[in-house]
Amino acid sequence: MKKVALHNLGCKVNSYEIEVMQQTLVEKGYKIVPFDEMADIYIVNTCTVTNIADRKSRQMLHRAKQKNPEAIVVAVGCYVQTGQEAVLADEGIDLAIGNNRKKQLVELLEAYMEEHDKTVHGTSVIDVNRTYEYEEMTLKQTADHTRAYIKVQDGCNQFCSYCVIPYARGRVRSRHLEDIRREIEGLVQAGYREIVLTGIHISSYGIDFDDSKWQQGISSEVYKGEERLDYSGESKLIDLVERIHDISGLQRIRIGSLEPRIVTKENVHRLAALPKLCPHFHLSLQSGCDETLKRMNRHYTTGEDLEGVRLLREAFVHPAITTDVIVGFPGETEEEFAESKAFLEKVDFYEMHVFKYSKRAGTRAAVMPGQVPDMIKTSRSNELLSLEQDQSRSFREYYIGKEVMVLTEEVKKLEGVSYMVGHTPDYVKVAVPCTEEMQPNEILKVLVQELLTGEILLGHTVSH
């Protein structure tokens, strides 16, 4: 029995894919061990979203080879896809597998072991920008025993000026409804109560489907022509949520990152009619300044984002609305940053994920004039992080004195006291004093009393 160690870098889609890869390895008789232990095979699911992500991918691959020079080191995913020349030249990598080939991991690995000696570099990389096939993978269980991420879409057609992901992941490819339902039904039967729909650009879900077949409830074939559809503001993602909502035993549905353009009056009305949908919406903004958004090649305005927030707050009671923000994008002046910050203060997000702009070789933004010094990026980041902390605390404090439903997840010790910790539908973390009968994966009604920490509310159970 060969020992395999896996390490994941990057996004939730990568996390989903490495769990399926690990699942397949176990089914084929391999033994999974921690990445810092001696193994026969090391697999790194790589990321390439920034130059730093590339470097981390290389570091983990080289760490594996240093740990056991005789091991087979396998690089998988986005870094392989965009950096093929460097990967092929890297003596620390034995086998390189690109995107849309991850489900063939075991097959490719065993072919490599059978056909190659250790002096030969193995590769399996296709041109993802020329494929229309969605790589079907099915997850049966996850490391998280209460919440499962479900990949429904791959690829992106947006081509933001700072992003290389369309080249690493290819064009939009959507998963068929029947396959999604089958996977969710299996996970629900295995005890999972909550699922999160995820993808590279899930607002584009279904743009590659034939409309007439979709309306009939039949899985359509992906368009075979060279022209690829672009996101137009109309998405079948809402249709998908409606069609999985009736799955028996499923109790919570979350949606991953959304384009502000999908948050229309009609779509919000349809979502608000679904009781299982968690009122937790991540609107991928990136900047609160329209001029900066133009340079980023984002396809919306701050006005559209603000209108989407208004519609959500009108349709849902105290929804959790979160966002991503990049500071120090090329050309961002003090005036533009001030405009962006003022917009973020006005919207009052529950949480903001603040990133300092990082160059990515091969993108237009990397060679734009007006590159912002690191010291200024750090200062701007700190300002927004301070704002985020205040807004997030205020959002949580709203629940003090109110009853909330908490999906229990894990036991945590804080200052010597054991608490059962979980999340509300709007993804606020809540802790209750642990009792012997409490188990993970239960839904409890909790009366919130106070803030236990800056990020965790404290309450006591009212009922199961």
pLDDT in tens, 309-321: 999 999 999 999 9
Its pTM stands at 0.91
> Looking at the predicted structure, is the pLDDT value of residue 119 above 80?
no
* Cα gap 253→240, rounded to integer Å: 11
What is the architecture, at CATH level 2, of domain 3-126?
A: 3-Layer(aba) Sandwich (3.40)
Tell me the residue type at 110.
E
* Cα gap 13→21, rounded to integer Å: 12
Tell me: the pLDDT tens digits for 28-86?
Answer: 999 999 999 999 999 999 999 999 999 999 999 999 999 999 999 999 999 999 998 89
For the domain bounded by 147-396, which CATH number is listed? 3.80.30.20
- Torsions phi, psi of 176, nearest 5? -70, 145
Tell me: the pLDDT tens digits for 151-197?
Answer: 999 999 999 999 999 999 999 999 999 999 999 999 999 999 999 99
> Looking at the predicted structure, is the pLDDT value of residue 126 above 80?
no
For residue 141, the Cα-to-chain-centroid distance in whole angstroms is: 17
Instruction: Answer yes or no: are the C-beta atoms of 84 and 105 closer than 8 Å.
Output: no
Element housing 283 (H / E) = strand 280-286
Token duo for residue 260? 């502000």
Fold of 403-463: OB fold (Dihydrolipoamide Acetyltransferase, E2P) (2.40.50)
- Lowest-confidence range among 133-142, 243-252, 375-384? 133-142
- Torsions phi, psi of 278, nearest 5? -75, 135
| Predicted local distance difference test score (pLDDT) of residue 129 | 75
- Lowest-confidence range among 135-144, 373-382, 395-404? 135-144
Domain range summary for the chain, segments of one domain joined by +: 3-126, 147-396, 403-463
Instruction: Answer yes or no: are the C-beta atoms of 323 and 283 closer than 8 Å.
Output: yes
**Per-chain mean pLDDT for the chain:** 91
Tell me: the pLDDT tens digits for 229-258?
Answer: 565 556 799 999 999 999 999 999 999 999
Nearest to 80 by CA among 10, 159, 164, 168: 168
Helix, strand or coil, per DSSP, at residue 235:
coil
Instruction: Answer yes or no: are the C-beta atoms of 136 and 175 closer than 8 Å.
Output: yes
Core vs surface per residue 185-224: b (16+ CB within 10 A) or e: eebbeeebbbbbbbbbbbbbbbbbbeeeebeeeeebebee
Instruction: Answer yes or no: are the C-beta atoms of 306 and 263 closer than 8 Å.
Output: no
| Predicted local distance difference test score (pLDDT) of residue 381 | 98
The span from the first CA to the last CA of the chain, in angstroms, equals 44
* Cα gap 38→326, rounded to integer Å: 39
Within 10 angstroms of residue 413's Cβ, the number of other Cβ atoms is 9
